[in-house]
Amino acid sequence: MNELGKLSPRQIEIFQHARRNGRVLVESLVEMFGTTPQTIRKDLQALADANKVMRFHGGAALLAGVEYTDFEARKHMAAKEKDIIGKAVAQLIPNNIVLMLNIGTTTAAVAQQLKHHAGLKIITDNVNIANDLRTFTGINVMVPGGSVRHSDGAIIGEAAVEFLSQFRADIAVIGTAAIGGDGTLYDYDLREAHVARAIIQNSRHVILAADHTKFDGSAPVQIGHLSQVDKLVTDEFENSAMLELCEKHGVELVKA
């Protein structure tokens, strides 16, 4: 089995790109490196052999257990879209409710827009989001116990799942690494997925906040399905298949 040190400079760069974005596409990598699709596919196979990515048709996703680039770096990716989505989701949140926010840079953008809300009790599985929210007057912030992941401040583990199961939130705002063509919601870390599932299961109303780049994507771990979501808030919508999925499962589409 290959170790990272045995990979070529291009393969290492592809891996770093996967760590920044969660996944990579053959078509984009061909344009980025000016090489052939066959060469890129060989590079992805080398990364898969090194247990760094999982291949899928047309690209590869970061393998579960291989951590993303840190939280602050990811916040700058599609920052404009996340800001627009954050404002739109915040408008859907009334005062004086119990709200769950899961780990993610899009949900972090939502949190930033809640500073003028009042009477919110917010439960979040991310120390970065909690640290931002604690400065807002009129908001009570709670975090579960568990291990804090170094790369992004996610709180993970069975203790976090058990803590969340004690509540019944009025609304949950969740993010996802990708939305599959069949409506499956994906993530890259099994431990994080367990927490996300607990948030979905213990909320009366679920809002999915995801920019258009998440559509028709894939990742190693299933969080849930679009059918468990009440509203999908996104920045633009030109994907007819996703529109049909929303209509099929009774998901209200909100274009930010």
CATH number for 120: 3.40.50.1360
pLDDT tens digit string along 236-249?
777 788 899 999 99
pLDDT exceeds 50 at position 33? yes
Complete edge-to-edge strand list for the sheet that includes strand 221-225: 178-179, 184-187, 221-225
Q: Based on the domain organization, do 89 and 27 belong to the same domain?
A: no
Q: Based on the domain organization, do 124 and 245 belong to the same domain?
A: yes
Confidence band, pLDDT 50/70/90 cuts, at residue 4: low
**Cβ count near 201 (within 10 Å):** 15
Q: Based on the domain organization, do 102 and 57 belong to the same domain?
A: no
Q: What is the mean pLDDT of residues 162-190?
A: 93
Give dist(CA 130, CA 152) in Å, integer: 12
Cα separation of the two ends of the chain: 46
* pLDDT value, residue 22: 74
Q: Which residue has the higher pLDDT, 61 or 65?
A: 61
Confidence band, pLDDT 50/70/90 cuts, at residue 2: very low
The pTM (predicted TM-score) of the whole model is: 0.77
Q: Based on the domain organization, do 50 and 167 belong to the same domain?
A: no
Structure tokens at 36: 């052939």
Q: Based on the domain organization, do 146 and 42 belong to the same domain?
A: no
Q: Based on the domain organization, do 35 and 148 belong to the same domain?
A: no
Confidence band, pLDDT 50/70/90 cuts, at residue 223: very high
Q: Based on the domain organization, do 200 and 168 belong to the same domain?
A: yes
CATH number, position 22 = 1.10.10.10
Inter-CA distances, 121 with 33, 125, 245, Å: 48, 14, 32
User: Which of the residue ranges 4-8, 70-74, 91-95, 164-168 would you say has the lowest mean pLDDT?
Assistant: 70-74
**Cβ count near 238 (within 10 Å):** 8
**Cβ count near 68 (within 10 Å):** 22
pLDDT exceeds 60 at position 64? no
**Cβ count near 31 (within 10 Å):** 10
Q: Based on the domain organization, do 167 and 51 belong to the same domain?
A: no
Q: Based on the domain organization, do 75 and 54 belong to the same domain?
A: no
* pLDDT value, residue 104: 87
* pLDDT value, residue 71: 56
Q: Return the percentage of the chain with pLDDT > 90, whole number.
A: 59
Confidence band, pLDDT 50/70/90 cuts, at residue 74: low
Rounded to the nearest 5°, which phi and psi values hold at 119? 75, 20
- What is the residue-averaged pLDDT of the chain? 88
Structural domain containing residue 141: 71-255
Angle (CA) 135 152 10, round 5°: 145
Q: Which of 40, 62, 84 corresponds to the end of one domain? A: 62
With contact defined as beta carbons under 8 Å apart, do 67 and 95 qualify?
no
pLDDT exceeds 50 at position 1? no
Per DSSP, what are the bridge partners of residue 142?
123
Q: Based on the domain organization, do 34 and 124 belong to the same domain?
A: no
Q: Which of 12, 36, 62 corresponds to the end of one domain? A: 62
With contact defined as beta carbons under 8 Å apart, do 149 and 67 qualify?
yes
What total number of domains does the chain contain?
Answer: 2
pLDDT tens digit string along 179-202?
988 999 998 788 889 999 999 999
Q: Which residue has the higher pLDDT, 193 or 21?
A: 193
Q: What is the mean pLDDT of residues 93-101?
A: 98
Hey, what amino acid is at 134?
R
Residue listed under structure tokens 């709200």: 99
Q: Which of 43, 62, 81 corresponds to the end of one domain? A: 62
Q: Based on the domain organization, do 143 and 189 belong to the same domain?
A: yes
Q: Based on the domain organization, do 29 and 9 belong to the same domain?
A: yes
